[in-house]
Amino acid sequence: MEIRKIKPEEKVAASLLQDMVYLSEGPEDYAKQLQNPLEHSEGYENIWAGFDGTGKMCSVTGVFDYRVRFDGHMADMGGIGGVATLAEARNAGYVRETFAKILPVMREEGKVFSYLYPFSFGFYRKFGYELCYAPARATIPMDFFREYPFPGGMTQYHPGGDIAPLMAVYEAFIRDKNLPIVRDTEAMREWADKDPYRTKHYAYLHRDGHGSPDAYLLFRVDEEDGDRILHVRELAWVSPGGLRAVFGFIGGLGPEFETLRWDAPRGIDLPALFKDGFDIKIQITPYGMNRIVDVRRALELMRAPKQPGRAVIRVTDTALPSNDGTYAVEWENGAVSSVKPSGLEPDLDTDIQTLTQLVTGYLTVDQAKLKRGVAVLGGEATLRALFVHKELYIAEFF
């Protein structure tokens, strides 16, 4: 078995392997692409593959570079996607050996986190990943939005238009959230520049009374059992007035749709925003998995209490042993001032999975200590102050 990054001429074969595994239709001209593979090599730098003893490609994994916001800092993250193994090569250890290769490489490249969307939570826990995002999947009758007045200042955004106002709203929206992707202009256009006439994807921008952009709505039209559903792809707002304006605009779309569906951030209490919440259905949906790639760096970037303090944390990481150890974390004035190896008895003994949940704010200490394999051994009040709930927001798929 060989695990390595693919060569440019192997990109077509890697894409076809993924199509085969995911039961997707390959491109009509795939035979022509195989004859001229170098003409179709874009993105090969992000792909790792596993080969058997004969040199046959049996497994593919994509590793994509992202920057995320984390506790007021920028941090690098490796997004894992397109993991695929041929049916006849499964249970041979290709994925296990791939992660054994890519995790140390991500650490060497300066990645602080790695994120993926699993087919199985249990499978990826073996590699140190853990559930770290569960949005509130809301289904709301369109009639509910009519209690909000229809706004002025709402305009449709068309592909190729001025993307700067949407960028400004997004950047303000994610400022106080953890782990959102930092988008450049090209990435924002991938979200908004979809042809409404062909794809039934729509984008609308709202400006306040001073002409400043303060909210946008990206949605698509879904059909289910003969009913039209307004499926919110992203709703971002700068101010409460911006959110209320979008709600009023949605109310005006009532005749075209029966219901709205939205994976809303957990920080918003939707039933509290409507006069009658009985028919609002909310399902907490386990979503993506995250893992810390560099424990020391994650602890250094973490937000901390204003009052000076110290906590000693022992962490076990069987998939990336360079993270294993006991760390003394000291802080003052809201920021971590020192993270050093320590021989002291730990206040917290945990695995990398739960530490990731604590550091990112998905779990508090009181929630984490209910899990198996987590031990609070001292300084419980200090740990409570250090590991607090934080609002997470992760919208990109890869």
Residue 277 has pLDDT above 90, yes or no: no
Tell me if the pTM is above 0.85. yes
Q: pLDDT tens digits for 280-299?
A: 999 998 889 999 999 999 99
Residue-level pLDDT at 271: 93
* Whether pLDDT at 13 is above 90: yes
Instruction: Give just the sign of the alpha carbon dihedral 363, 368, 374, 379.
Output: positive
Tell me what the pLDDT averaged over the chain comes to: 95
d(CA 204, CA 154): 7
pLDDT at 28 over 90: no
DSSP 300-366: HHSB--SS-EEEEEEEE-SS-GGG-EEEEEEEETTEEEEEEE--SPPSEEEEHHHHHHHHHTSS-HH
- Each residue's pLDDT tens digit, 32-66: 999 889 989 999 999 999 999 999 999 999 999 99
Residue 381 backbone class (left: φ over 0; alpha: ψ -120 to 50; beta: rest): alpha
pLDDT at 225: 87
The pLDDT-based confidence of 398 (bands split at 50, 70, 90) is: confident
Query: What are the residue ranges of CATH 3.30.1050.10 in the chain?
Result: 294-386
Q: Which of the following CATH numbers is that of domain 2-111: 3.30.2000.10, 3.40.640.10, 3.40.920.10, 3.40.630.30?
A: 3.40.630.30
Residue ranges of the chain assigned to CATH 3.40.630.30? 2-111, 136-284
pLDDT of residue 131: 97
- pLDDT of res. 197: 95
Model confidence band, residue 161 (pLDDT cutoffs 50, 70, 90): very high
In DSSP notation, 43-70 reads TGGGEEEEE-TT--EEEEEEEEEEEEEE
Q: What is the reported pLDDT for 26?
A: 84
What percent of the chain has pLDDT above 90? 92
**Residue range 378-393, pLDDT digits in tens:** 999 999 999 999 999 9
Distance between CA atoms of residues 4 and 80, nearest Å: 15
Fold observed for domain 294-386: Nonspecific Lipid-transfer Protein; Chain A (3.30.1050)
Level-2 CATH architecture, domain 136-284: 3-Layer(aba) Sandwich (3.40)
Residue 327: pLDDT band by 50, 70, 90 thresholds?
Answer: very high
pLDDT over 90 at 336, yes or no: yes
